[in-house]
Amino acid sequence: MDAQRVECLFDRLFPLCRSIAGEGFRKSLEILHEVLPLEVQRVPSGTQVFDWTVPPEWIIRDARLTGEDGCQVASFRETNLAVVSYSIPVDRWLTLEELRPHLHSLPALPDATPYVTSYYRENWGFCLPHRVLESLPEQRYHAWVDSELIDGELNYGEAVLPGQSSREILLSSYLCHPSLANNELSGPLVLAMLYQKLRRWPRRRYTYRFLLNPETIGSLAFLSRRGEHLRQRLEAGLVLTCLGGPSPWLSFKKPRREGTVLEQVIDNLRSTGALGVAVREFTPLSGSDERQFCSPGFDLPVGQIARTVYGEYPGYHNSRDDKQFMGIAPLLRSAEEIELVLRGLECGGCFRNLSPHGEPQLGRRGLYPSINSEETRRNASSDDVLDGRQFLDAVLILLSYSDGRHSAAWIASRLGQPVTRLTSVIDRLEQEGLLVLEAPP
């Protein structure tokens, strides 16, 4: 997936009017299926998921706000942000005063159209630039929304790339904001790029689960089906969001649970200079689906990975969050950097030394120089990444600390190496029957 392919997908996806349930979501999955073959899951409207009820589907055909003077104030045809998501049908004449509670704008960004929703209480409304709102003359207005709320289904898409272990890594993003770029399409597009990359890996130690859902209610529906499975199997997870924009670095939000392997891998890559990444503490006050994955009943080791973070750029949740702001190049860079994190996770877990009573005899396995002199130790057998002594050091420290309690990421940090540089050492020790992967404690 080169930049051109990504941009082409973006241009087809951007105009669709997505919401949390309905045709917009399904059509988007269908387009993405070309590069990310997710299986569509169905959850009927009205289904109880934990404390929530799956809402009806929203059908929106058209919407328009027109003045008595014939002037068109807002139009769904021009931008699907113009109508509040999940607006019920309306066809009424109102005075400006009656209309005001149904109008939304951003005084601080007078030229931008905000993104507003009302999923769980019946309402309707229009969004428009504050400059337009302020210039509206006192007159009567015709509010017309041609929409429908029908019993249908909520959908999410799921795909699995199997690995050697049944332990899983979850990669998820969301689709539900209509014409937004960084805070909508950047996530699914990077997710697709990662799928294409991982599909080609010659070996996957873990099984990778890809998930694309409407935010919040979609991840809850997914958890109602897969939550227990994940509680038993999940090694790590990342929610992908806001992966474009001008920020030079990735930004990682830690899981609620402390001391996860995921956190240790990110810390290892950051502290050894292998990856530029800002680290945020967990908070339930803002964010994406990691808030659901990390809720206390699940407490999964799922973090969130972003680049130009929601709430930290002026275009957040309004019409200025477009392709120009997001950019295509940052998406490719995000995919590459997240792939590095996944490579770190692949070898950063908790292993167990199967020959733990004393140091195993490395010499007969060709892992230690047969002549023991300072010189030969410095030139011990190595791979193309680590020189001889570094290779031997990695062998010794992995064997010493692989007791099922210390992750290889932690061990690598103790050695001052990015954990990704230990990949070949770990592979070799696995082949020799000296190490085996375990679930973290």
Report if residue 367 touches a copy of itself, rule: CB under 8 A.
Answer: no
Q: Write down the least CB distance from residue 102 to a copy of itself, Å.
A: 10
Residue nearer to a copy of itself on the CB measure, 101 or 162: 101
Residues sharing a CB contact under 8 Å with residue 333, sequence separation 6 or more, in sequence order = none
Residues sharing a CB contact under 8 Å with residue 232, sequence separation 6 or more, in sequence order = none
Report if residue 47 touches a copy of itself, rule: CB under 8 A.
Answer: no
Alpha-carbon span 259 to 236, nearest angstrom: 12
Instruction: For helices 329-348 and 408-415, give the axis angle rounded to 10 degrees.
Output: 100
Report if residue 79 touches a copy of itself, rule: CB under 8 A.
Answer: no
Report if residue 203 touches a copy of itself, rule: CB under 8 A.
Answer: no
Q: Is 327 left (phi over 0), alpha (psi -120 to 50) or beta?
A: left
Residue nearer to a copy of itself on the CB measure, 79 or 216: 216
Chain position carrying tokens 């474009």: 244
Nearest alpha carbon to residue 187 among 206, 215, 221: 215
3-state secondary structure of 79: coil
Q: Which positions from 309 to 328 touch a copy of itself by CB under 8 A, shown as an x/- string?
A: --------x-----------
Scanning 19-27, 199-207, 327-335, 393-401 for contacts with a copy of itself by CB under 8 A, the matching segment is 393-401
Nearest alpha carbon to residue 22 among 63, 60, 52: 60
Residue type, 203: R
With CB under 8 A as the contact rule, the residue among 66, 355, 381, 382 that binds a copy of itself is 355
With CB under 8 A as the contact rule, the residue among 4, 135, 324, 370 that binds a copy of itself is 370
* Structure tokens, 334: 């995000």
Q: How many residues bind a copy of itself (CB under 8 A)?
A: 61
Report if residue 425 touches a copy of itself, rule: CB under 8 A.
Answer: no
With CB under 8 A as the contact rule, the residue among 182, 183, 292, 319 that binds a copy of itself is 292
Residue nearer to a copy of itself on the CB measure, 117 or 251: 117
Residue type, 313: Y
Alpha-carbon span 256 to 282, nearest angstrom: 5
Residue type, 106: L
With CB under 8 A as the contact rule, the residue among 29, 74, 190, 223 that binds a copy of itself is 223
> Within the chain, what is the greatest distance between any pair of CA atoms?
96
Residue nearer to a copy of itself on the CB measure, 21 or 328: 21
Report if residue 403 touches a copy of itself, rule: CB under 8 A.
Answer: yes
Q: Write down the least CB distance from residue 120 to a copy of itself, Å.
A: 5
Report if residue 382 touches a copy of itself, rule: CB under 8 A.
Answer: no
Backbone phi, then psi, for 280, in 5-degree steps?
-110, 145
Q: Which positions from 81 to 120 touch a copy of itself by CB under 8 A, shown as an x/- string?
A: ---x-------------------x-x-------xxxxxxx
Scanning 35-43, 169-177, 198-206, 212-220 for contacts with a copy of itself by CB under 8 A, the matching segment is 212-220
With CB under 8 A as the contact rule, the residue among 19, 186, 219, 420 that binds a copy of itself is 219
First to last CA, the chain: 38
With CB under 8 A as the contact rule, the residue among 13, 397, 409, 429 that binds a copy of itself is 397
Strand partners, 104: 127
H or E element, residue 95: strand 90-95
Nearest alpha carbon to residue 264 among 412, 165, 424, 395: 412
* Interface residue list for a copy of itself (CB under 8 A): 49-53, 84, 104, 106, 114-121, 123, 125, 216, 219-220, 223-224, 227, 256, 283-285, 291-292, 294-299, 317, 353, 355-361, 363-364, 370-375, 393, 396-397, 399-403
